């Protein structure tokens, strides 16, 4: 196993050699020290391979109370519909499933059918029935 001398460890940390002043050592770092660098985290910034779209979702009335959300952003697979989006929230919040038959969905501030396909950047709102006088 590779074991650095104490002055070389200091050189790797600061870039300065204690015995030779500011001259850097030109020796490459061994592999087990490379993993400690921030650049070794390259896998975390890789984009998703599957095509997806991001939509903004708004909740009103009783739905807002059930989910504790006023607004949310959701990433959905390409080709998803309003019904797919609602069912993804119904899985997360089971009480929403009871409201499905009485809800109206809107896409970009226009009422839409449940089989309407989503596009990236859409604003979706789920509207419960409203009563009043």
Q: Which CATH number fits domain 52-127: 3.10.20.30, 3.40.50.300, 3.40.50.2300, 3.40.250.10?
A: 3.10.20.30
> CA triplet 113, 90, 70: central angle to 5 degrees?
80
Residue 25's pLDDT band (boundaries 50, 70, 90)? very low
Higher-confidence residue: 64 or 7? Answer: 64
CA 14 – CA 21 distance, rounded (Å): 12
Q: pLDDT (tens digit, 9 = 90+) per residue, 51-63?
A: 789 999 999 989 9
pLDDT at position 133 over 70: no
CA distances from residue 118 to 19, 47, 52, 98, 114 in whole angstroms, order as listed = 65, 21, 10, 23, 10
**Where do the structural domains in the chain lie, given as residue ranges?**
6-45, 52-127
């Amino acid at each position: 196993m590779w074991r650095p001398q104490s002055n070389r460890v200091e050189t790797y940390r600061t870039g300065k050699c204690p015995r030779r002043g500011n001259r850097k050592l030109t020796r490459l770092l061994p592999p087990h020290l490379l993993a400690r660098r921030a650049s070794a985290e390259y896998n975390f910034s890789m984009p998703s391979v599957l095509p997806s779209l991001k939509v903004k979702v708004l909740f009103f009335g009783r739905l807002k109370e059930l989910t504790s959300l006023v607004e949310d952003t959701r990433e959905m697979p390409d080709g998803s519909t309003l019904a797919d989006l609602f069912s993804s929230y119904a899985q997360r919040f089971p009480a929403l499933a009871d409201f499905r038959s009485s809800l109206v969905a809107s896409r970009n501030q226009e009422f839409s059918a449940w089989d309407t396909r989503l596009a990236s950047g859409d604003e979706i709102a789920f509207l419960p029935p409203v009563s009043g006088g």
